[in-house]
A and B are shown apart, each in its own frame.
Chain A
Amino acid sequence: MQFFLNAPMIGFYIISLCILGCAVMLLSFQRVIYMALAIGGVFIGCAAIYILLGADFVGAAQLLIYAGAITILIMFAIMLTNHEAADPPHKWTPRNILSAVGAVLLGAVLLLVIRSTTWPPAVDADVNGGNSNPVAVGLALFQNYTVPFELVSLLLIVGMVGAVILARERKEDEDE
């Protein structure tokens, strides 16, 4: 009962429940569009966890990119394709059973590992070096991780151009 003695702990449990609930809903919905909404819930919950852990900047980025951009992008994709699409009601086909067994076993192994590991005492360490979190992240990015940062920007450009080329309607091809 010690767990519930402090506010962050209570918050963590509520958020966790939200995340897992949304994730389960994602699996159990049949309309595709509802699934996309459920994933938005998961993303927002994750952002809350990040903020709870003191990673304010990551949490904000998570909100902006995942909960904002990506969820909207997915919804657009659904609308552009077959927005009436729905998964058939869930059935325990052999593949589903096998997948479930695999996932549960993997989860069990992971949980056992987590449980049996002796974690260092959870000290409330100051990782920001005295600055606010966004400043600390910015300093790390532009001091220690400049090259990966630039590479990631290149990756984004390539991804963007690739997405445009792939998704483009080839009018000239169709005309010919």
Chain B
Amino acid sequence: MSGTFPIPTGSLLALGAILFCIGLYGALTKRNLIIVLVSIELMLNAANINLVTFSRLGVAPNISGQVFALFTITVAAAEIAVGLALLLAIFRVRRTTEVQDLDVHKH
């Protein structure tokens, strides 16, 4: 297993960057709270792609990158669980999942 790795680092990182920006756009514009959460997951995945890329192709290739990605996945799982639970609780009270309707922070 030696020799030049076939995929250039830059391409992988570019994929991550584009994915991150798409996720950001979704998180900023989507009206449904669930989709906002999903967009955030998208951004987390973009970060994960970077982590795994650097684990293989960085200055000092190391398994730690993959371990870190695993931790991220775990945290994301916990986050989505709590986030959806919150969403259900809000829905039960407000009968809506529209982000725009949740503006009790105003004033």
- Measured between beta carbons, the chain A residues less than 8 angstroms from B42 are 23, 26, 39, 42
Tell me if B1 counts as interface (CB < 8 A to partner A).
yes
Binary B-proximity of A129-148 (CB < 8 A = 1, otherwise 0): 10001001100110011001
A125 to B49, CA, bound (A): 18
Write the nearest CB–CB distance from A61 to chain B, whole angstroms. Answer: 6
Q: Say yes or no: B78 contacts A159, CB within 8 Å.
A: yes
- Measured between beta carbons, the chain B residues less than 8 angstroms from A85 are 32, 97-98
Main secondary structure of the interface of A (DSSP, over half): helix
Q: Say yes or no: B38 contacts A163, CB within 8 Å.
A: no
- Measured between beta carbons, the chain A residues less than 8 angstroms from B57 are 53, 119-120, 122-123, 125
Q: Say yes or no: B55 contacts A55, CB within 8 Å.
A: yes
Main secondary structure of the interface of B (DSSP, over half): helix
Please judge, given known A-B contacts A35-B35, A145-B67, A160-B81, whether A82 and B97 are in contact too, CB under 8 Å. Answer: yes
A12 to B38, CA, bound (A): 24
Q: B38's contact among A3, A39, A122, A124, by CB below 8 Å, is which?
A: A39
Q: Say yes or no: A54 contacts B25, CB within 8 Å.
A: no
- Measured between beta carbons, the chain A residues less than 8 angstroms from B70 are 57-58, 61, 137, 141
Q: Say yes or no: A125 contacts B61, CB within 8 Å.
A: yes
Q: Say yes or no: B10 contacts A81, CB within 8 Å.
A: no
Q: Say yes or no: B66 contacts A57, CB within 8 Å.
A: yes
Residues 152-172 of A contacting B (Cβ, < 8 Å)? 152, 155-156, 158-160, 162-167, 169
Please judge, given known A-B contacts A20-B22, A152-B75, whether A124 and B5 are in contact too, CB under 8 Å. Answer: yes
Question: Which residues in A have some Cβ–Cβ distance to B below 8 Å?
Answer: 3, 6-9, 12, 16, 19-20, 23-24, 26-27, 32, 35-36, 39, 42-43, 46, 49-50, 52-55, 57-58, 61-62, 65-66, 69-70, 73-74, 77-78, 80-82, 85, 87-88, 95-96, 99-100, 102-104, 106-107, 110-111, 114-115, 117, 119-129, 133, 136-137, 140-141, 144-145, 148, 152, 155-156, 158-160, 162-167, 169
